[in-house]
Structure 1
């Protein structure tokens, strides 16, 4: 009698499990955050571009696009909308006259640092109402790790 070899299930891979849980959780967070965004507020791409300029300093549209792993054309549309709102300004690149350097205007800096955003307000309220101080601290420690993970994808 030939018995089929017993196949034992592979041991769970904690990294794969974490990757799947992060993918699902971040996707759900992103969808719900988009639903909560109020009309007329800055979009996530706009806020991200402003935040990058604040943290990394002046750079080109291409540099911003590389950091966000999107096309320069897509970032150009975002930057154009930020210029129309008076939140970023262009200046000539001293090293390459074909390029321009983007920097935050005082209004752009204020927009980044105001923290006024319907989604941020909602998340802040949820953190205050439904999470312990210890849980908020864990999320605070995890945030830069998730940012680094996003940059490495």
Structure 2
């Protein structure tokens, strides 16, 4: 494969992965959640975090993250509490409602993808896709 072929492959892969992500998001019952709200909830799925830590993780200003978190709190998707290590800080965590909403979003995406793979791809193509997932995982982990 030439350098030009690898470059074209990288461009096509970037485009297809983006399109797949958009299709999966469209298949999920997002309700009033914005992209930034979904991303913040995803980070909080990993565990509680401060506003500053979430802002750093997403490369946004703390003021922007505070607005995102306020909207999530208004929907009862997160709870805030004092940081046990530093009382001046506030820690955000998923509420029970937030956990359920995230699970619902993820299940809708998984269901759409499972059904689409089964409907569109032959059994042989499904095996090829499984092999491609292994290769993509290696790229992500490198």
What is the TM-score of this pair, normalised by structure 2?
A: 0.70
Query: Alignment length, in residue pairs?
Result: 137
Q: Partner of 1:6 in structure 2?
A: none
In 1, are the aligned partners of 2:24 and 2:112 still within 8 Å (CA)? Answer: no
Q: Partner of 1:88 in structure 2?
A: 78
Q: Does 1:52 align with 2:43?
A: yes
Q: How does 1:65-80 map to 2 (within 5 A)?
A: 65-80=55-70
CA pair 106-45 structure 1, distance change in 2 beyond 3 A: same
Larger Rg: 1
In structure 1, stretches of 5+ residues that fail to align are 1-10
CA pair 45-12 structure 1, distance change in 2 beyond 3 A: same
Q: Which has the higher helix share?
A: 2
Q: Deviations over 1:116-138 (max 9, x none)?
A: 44x55433331231234424534
CA pair 138-86 structure 1, distance change in 2 beyond 3 A: farther
Structure 1: distance between partners of 2:135 and 2:45: 21
Q: Does 1:113 align with 2:106?
A: no
Structure 2: distance between partners of 1:143 and 1:84: 38
What is the TM-score of this pair, normalised by structure 1?
A: 0.66
Segment of structure 1 superposing worse, 81-90 or 14-23: 14-23
In 2, are the aligned partners of 1:127 and 1:136 still within 8 Å (CA)? Answer: no
In structure 2, stretches of 5+ residues that fail to align are none
Q: Partner of 1:26 in structure 2?
A: 17
| Superposition CA RMSD, Å | 3.2
CA pair 58-24 structure 1, distance change in 2 beyond 3 A: same
